[in-house]
Amino acid sequence: MLHYWLAHLAYHFSRQLPKRSRTKFEILVVLMVTIFLLPQIFVLLRPKSSRYCVQPLLVNLTSFIIFTFIMTGFTVVLTLMDPIPNEVKVAFHVYGVGSFAQGIATTAFTVAASQCANTTPELYYLSLVLSVLSVLATVLVGFLIPFWLADLFNKGMVLNRRSRAGVCQKPVANCSHLWHV
């Protein structure tokens, strides 16, 4: 869920900016993705990372890097397009399910690979950090899912910006970028 949440967050922050300022935001997004991607590639290229580990942490890191590249593409598309076509939304949410599965796999492999801290320390500790971030992102998205579903089935019940009504109107009145349906 980490990749899904980061792209989702970038989308909402971009919507707070005027359209003419979004290219500056895109440059910032590329810099942030690079900062997020550099440790992953660094650990992947380390000679110690190819040592034997009971769990497939190296394969998992490779798939995590692939998800990061896909996240970059979705982030660029979501922040530049206005309005976003339904096909892109559906593809993004399917990607979110894949990101959730990737987070579960990362967490499961890391929990079972405590002995890899001795053989492949950089790989193990990076997997540990990515697992914690994935769990935190899953908790954040999991908190929002009931609100998204409630608003899907009863439009305007949770947040109606035009009439300034709904269950969540007061909490998000000043931070509307935190909300998404």
Regions in the chain scoring below 50 on pLDDT: 169, 180-181
Give the global pTM.
0.80
Spell out the long-range contacts of 139-142 with Cβ–Cβ below 8 A and sequence spacing 24 or more: 140/5, 141/1, 141/4, 141/5, 141/8, 141/96
Give the per-residue pLDDT at 8. Answer: 87
SS (H, E, C) the chain: CHHHHHHHHHHHHHHCCCHHHHHHHHHHHHHHHHHHHHHHHHHHHCHHHHCCCCCCHHHHHHHHHHHHHHHHHHHHHHHHCCCCCHHHHHHHHHHHHHHHHHHHHHHHHHHCCCCHHHHCHHHHHHHHHHHHHHHHHHHHHHHHHHHHHHHHHCCCCCCECCCCECCCHHHHCCCHHHCCC
What would the pLDDT profile of 121-156 be if each residue is shown by its tens digit?
888 999 999 999 999 999 998 888 887 777 777 776
